Amino acid sequence: MTDPSVKRAFKYRFYPTDAQAAELLRTFGCVRKVYNLALTARTEAWTRQERVTYNQTSAMLTAWKKTGELAYLNDVSSVPLQQALRHLQVAFTHFFAKRARYPRFKSRKKSRKSAEYTASAFRFRGKQLTLAKMAEPLDIAWSRPLPEGASPSTVTVSQDCAGRWFVSLLCEDASVGSMPATERTVGVDVGLGHLLTLSTGEKIANPQHERRDRARLAKAQRNLARKVTGDGANRAKARRKVAKVHARIADRRRDHLHKLTTRLVRENQTIVIEDLTVRNLLKNHNLARAISDVAWSELRSMLEYKARWYGREVIVVDRWFPSSKLCSTCGSLQNRMPLHVRTWTCGCGVTHDRDVNAAKNLLAVGLTASVCGAGVSPQRGTPGGQSAMKQKPLRHEP
C-alpha cells in the first residue's frame, strides 16, 4: 500500500556568496565539534556502564557555550547543533538495537560536511530560502519544481568533496501513489557483462561509468600523489580535481540507475530480485572495482523505496537459490555450471541463455513465495551439508 503522506527530499545545487560560504563552513565545523564532544561524553559514560540521553547532551551543549574555550558555538545557529545531537541519539539507538556499529567520530577531512535546519531556523517563501544568521536568500538552481503547495519541514545544506554546494528540502509529496496498477511482473538478474537481464529476455548493458573515466581519474590521482603531504594549497587543489572526477562518475551512475529503476517500477507491478551480499563479493579483489561500479546495493535500494511510494511489490529471493543451474522449463537441476558457460542445453532439449534462464527462475520462485505468503527458503542439499550456492557470472566483460 502507498503512503499518501510520504516525505521526499528534493536536492538542488546552489551558489553561495562569500559571506554565506564562510557562515556555512563555520556551521559545519561547529556541528562536527558538538557531535564529537557529545560522542566523547557518551563514550566515557559507556565505559562506566552509564547511559547518556539526548536531553543530557542538550544540557551539556548549553554549558559548553558558556565556557571561554567553546564560546564560538554561539556565533552559529543553535538549531544545526541540536540536530547533530539528535543524529547522535539515532546512531546510538541503532547501535543498541544491533542494527549498526558503534558511532564514530567525525573527521575534519573525511566526514561529510552538512548541517540540518528545522522550520524555526529558515524562511521559505516562493522560491526564496533564507537560513538563520543570513541576510540574503540562497542562490538555488531550481532544476525541477517542488510539489505544488509543498513547504519544506527540514533543510539540509551540504558541501561535497568536489567543493559543490547542495541544499536538500524535505517535503510531503501528494503525487506519490498516483501510478495506475498493472498486471505485469518481471524477474531481474544482475551481472557485470550486462547490468540487468530481465525474464522477458531483455538485456540492459553495463555503462561502465568508472571505466570510461579511468584514464582521467588515474591522471588526477598521479598528480595528487606528487604533491607534498600536508595542508598545502596545491595539494588541496589536486585533491579537489580527483574528487571532481569521482563526482562525475557517481552522478552519471546515479542518474542511470534512477532512470532504470523508475522504468521498472512504472512498467511492472511485481519485481523479483536476488539477495546478494555485495560486501562479501567485494572481497574478490580482481572484481571489486567492477562490482563497485555497477552499484547493485544502490539499485536494490532505489527499487525498494520507489516500490513503496507507488504501490508496487519487490520480492527478494534467497541468495542460495540456484537460479543459474535450474532449468526454467522442466525444473531439473544441473550438477555444475562453470562461470564461462553462457548458454547450455538441458536434458529436456531446451537451450538456455544463462542469465535469461536465471531471471525466469527468480520470477517463478518469487511469485510462488508471494502467493504462499512465505519467504523463499534457502536451497540446501549438496553433499556434506554445503549450500547449493548460485554461481554468478562475475567475469568482467569489456
Q: How far apart are CA 324 and CA 333, in angstroms?
A: 9
> Which of 23, 116, 210, 355 does the annotation list as catalytic?
355
User: What are the Cα distances from residue 260, in Å, to 17, 107, 207?
Assistant: 36, 35, 12
Asked if 274 is an active-site residue, the reply is: yes
Catalytic residue flag (residue 189): yes
Residue that has been written with the C-alpha cell 559543490 in this structure? 164
Cα angle 117-152-84, degrees, rounded to a multiple of 5:
20
Q: For residue 152, with 0-12 CB atoms within 10 Å meaning exposed, 13-18 middle and 19 or more buried, which class applies?
A: buried
The residue from 173, 189, 210, 293 that is catalytic is 189
Q: Is residue 50 among the annotated active site residues?
A: no
- All three cell numbers of 124, joined, read 521559505
Consecutive H or E run containing 279: helix 278-281
Q: Which residue pairs, CB below 8 angstroms and at least 24 apart, start in 296-299? A: 296/190, 298/253, 298/254, 298/257, 299/190, 299/257, 299/260, 299/261
Closest residue by Cα to residue 150 from 6, 250, 332 = 6
Catalytic-labelled residue, pool 116, 173, 210, 274: 274
Cell of 383: 553433499
Active site residues: 189, 274, 355
